[in-house]
Chain A
Amino acid sequence: TQAAETKLTMIHPFPDFLQYTKNCKNLVAVINERGKGVVNIEMLPFNSIKMFQQPGAVSKGRVDLVCTPAAFYARGIPENEAVSTASSSAMQARAAGGTAILDGLHQKHFNTKYLGWTSSGNRFRIYMKNAPKFGSNGLPDFGGVKMRDNPIYGAFLKALKATTHNLPSSAVFSALEKGVVDASAWATLGLKGLKWDKFLRHAVAEEFYQTDIGWMMNLDKWKSLSPAAQKLIQDTVIEFERMNYYILTGMADGETATLKAEGMKFHAVPAAATFTKMAVDSAYARMDERLTKAGRDKSSIAKLRAAFQQ
């Protein structure tokens, strides 16, 4: 006899118009289409649960699934910053066993199944009102620059002498207009949508990190699924890791080309390798420190770095 269709609920952190939400909904649509009679995912509307509270809700099983940035629960799983700071693509990271290590950590420490990293291909850049200055060491010198802060790259920016300021992204536009801040890091994709390029006319060309949105599911719920349903969901997520990589790289390249065509100046970093290494080192140092403090096993750090920094 045919078992009843399993109903799953899912939450997502960003408003519907963002590409990340569209990618997430496309993946849901494909699973629902292929999974007719087996599994069906219902997306709860934006703002059903506050964005930083979503990973916890899935861990507890109040909701089954979430597509969320790994950084949103990086205090729960410090190793998550391997994804946030990656230079590899999702396919490279998976082939090298990095995704499997992360999944193991999710299962052991967070009661969730890590299904995949569905937003690789979109990296970060520092955008500025004025042209960046470079020191004799070949690195940008952000002394006197009023930079918008962020928990992931804040330490890195401070190491380059920037003064950082906390602002929600919705307040950045007017803050730029009035000169409350005059620089911000942002993904290579999405600056134009926010219209920040009206004020930010310079960019540090060297890119770093990646958008780190991935899928995870409550572990108890995952275990209760039929093997067929498990395979369907896991395979589709892996398929979309690749597809989204090409979608996002394409869009990011397109937007970069537009920004250049519209006259944004891209400034190459003389010591580019040191610049990116600094960015990654600051994150791994923090990861190590947090794991030490919590008395947790640190053996995955080197393996993760090898897989996510190719």
Chain B
Amino acid sequence: MLSVVDRIWEKVLWCLMALASLYVGLIMVAIIYMTTSRAMGWSYNGLTFVFIEYGFLYIMFLGSPWLIRTRSHVYIEMLTAAVPDPVRVVLSRLICLVGAIVCLIWAWYTFQIFLEQFDDPMAYDELRAQFDLRLWVSTVIFPIGFLLMSIEFLRFVFTAEPMHTGHAGVASDRVELEETRRNIEQEQSASAGLR
């Protein structure tokens, strides 16, 4: 039962990360639209700028929970690689508990801030005053993102294999390497098939 929920939950987080990736592609399109318009002397929608700039916050909070789950964030496995396994497991769970608490605290207070800004009719993005952007539009993603991150850290407190695997080096690189390897193998077999 729990594993079914976990698998569905994983799909949800994957979808959020996919949204973040799609956003990166859209930023490319937005920049080309804006820059080409400018070079040609055409006017363009100023909100394109806002779409790009606000995007970075959204991309981070959408993708971050998935990356915690897949051990992709940068963290250093120096101590956790040096200590014996039982110590590593306890240490890793403690670290993840700290992560969960910090994220939960942020989720709670940024939710308060969101409510306050939602109720305040004068709380606008002052830097981009010409666009009439309410402040809560950017703040709303904070509590959501931090809550999801908190849940993912908390999950690692209880999983059989903790977040820190004890392999020397940087965990995220190992994931990236495995992905790269897999992709290259796939590509090679694909191109072999084509030939």
Contact residues of A with B, CB < 8 Å?
Answer: 52, 55, 71-77, 109, 144, 146, 149, 151, 154-155, 163-166, 180, 293-295
B41 contact from A74, A144, A151, A293, Cβ within 8 A = A144
Q: Is the CB of B122 within 8 A of A76?
A: yes
Are A73 and B41 CB-contacts (below 8 A) given A149-B46, A166-B46, A166-B49? no
Q: Is the CB of A72 within 8 A of B43?
A: no
Partner of A155, one of B49, B122, B128, B130: B130
Shortest C-beta distance, B46 to chain A (Å), equals: 7
Q: How many angstroms between the C-alpha atoms of A55 and B127 in the bound complex?
A: 12
Instruction: Count chain B residues whose beta carbon lies closer than 8 angstroms to a beta carbon of A.
Output: 16
Give A294's nearest chain B residue, CB to CB. B121
Name 17 interchain pairs, CB-CB below 8 A, sorted by A.
Answer: A75-B123, A75-B124, A75-B126, A76-B122, A76-B123, A76-B124, A149-B46, A151-B128, A151-B130, A163-B38, A164-B46, A165-B38, A166-B46, A180-B38, A293-B121, A294-B121, A294-B122
What is the CB-to-nearest-CB distance from B129 to chain A, in angstroms, rounded to a whole number?
Answer: 4
B interface with A by C-beta (< 8 Å) = 38, 41-43, 46, 49, 121-130
B126 touches A163 (CB 8 A): no
Contact residues of B: prevailing secondary structure: loop
Known: A76-B122, A109-B122, A149-B46. A163 touches B127 (CB 8 A): no
Task: Give every chain B residue within 8 A of A144 (Cβ-Cβ).
Answer: 41
Q: Cβ of B38 and Cβ of A75 under 8 Å apart?
A: no
In contact, B41 and A154 (Cβ under 8 angstroms): no
Tell me how far the C-beta of B122 lies from the nearest C-beta in chain A, rounded to whole angstroms.
5
Q: Which residues of A have CB within 8 Å of B43? A: 163
Which residues of the other chain, A, contact B46 by a CB distance below 8 angstroms? 149, 164, 166
| Known pairs A76-B123, A151-B128 / 13 extra A-B pairs, C-beta < 8 Å | A55-B126, A71-B129, A75-B124, A75-B125, A76-B124, A76-B126, A146-B41, A151-B127, A151-B130, A163-B38, A163-B42, A166-B49, A180-B38
Contacts of A166 in B (CB 8 A): 46, 49
- B130 surroundings in chain A (CB, below 8 A): 149, 151, 154-155
Contact present for B49 and A52 (CB under 8 Å): no
Residues of chain B with a CB closer than 8 A to A180's CB: 38
CB-CB < 8 A to B129: which residues of A? 71, 74-75, 151
Is A52 within 8 A of B41, CB to CB? no
Q: How far is the CA of A234 from the CA of B38 in the complex (A)?
A: 48
Asked whether A52 lies within 8 Å of B126 as measured between CB atoms, the reply is yes
Q: How far is the CB of B19 from chain A (nearest CB, A)?
A: 25
User: Within 8 Å CB of B122, what residues of A?
Assistant: 75-77, 109, 294
Min distance, Cβ A221 to any Cβ of chain B, angstroms = 21
A234 to chain B, nearest CB (A): 26
User: Closest approach, in angstroms, between the C-beta of B142 and any C-beta of chain A?
Assistant: 15
Write out the residue numbers on chain B whose beta carbons fall within 8 Å of the beta carbon of A293.
121
With a CB–CB cut-off of 8 A, which chain B residues contact A75? 122-126, 129
How many Å from the CB of A107 to the closest CB on chain B?
A: 15
Q: Would B41 and A163 count as touching, CB distance under 8 A?
A: yes
Q: Which of B38, B49, B121, B126 is in CB contact (< 8 Å) with A146?
A: B38
Report the minimum CB–CB distance from B130 to chain A (whole Å).
5
Kindly list the 3 A-B residue pairs having the minimum CB-CB distance in the complex, ordered from nearest. Answer: A75-B124, A151-B129, A151-B130
Query: Closest residue to B124 on the A side, CB-wise?
Result: A75
B121 (CB) vs chain A CBs: closest residue: A294
Q: Is the CB of B38 within 8 A of A52?
A: no
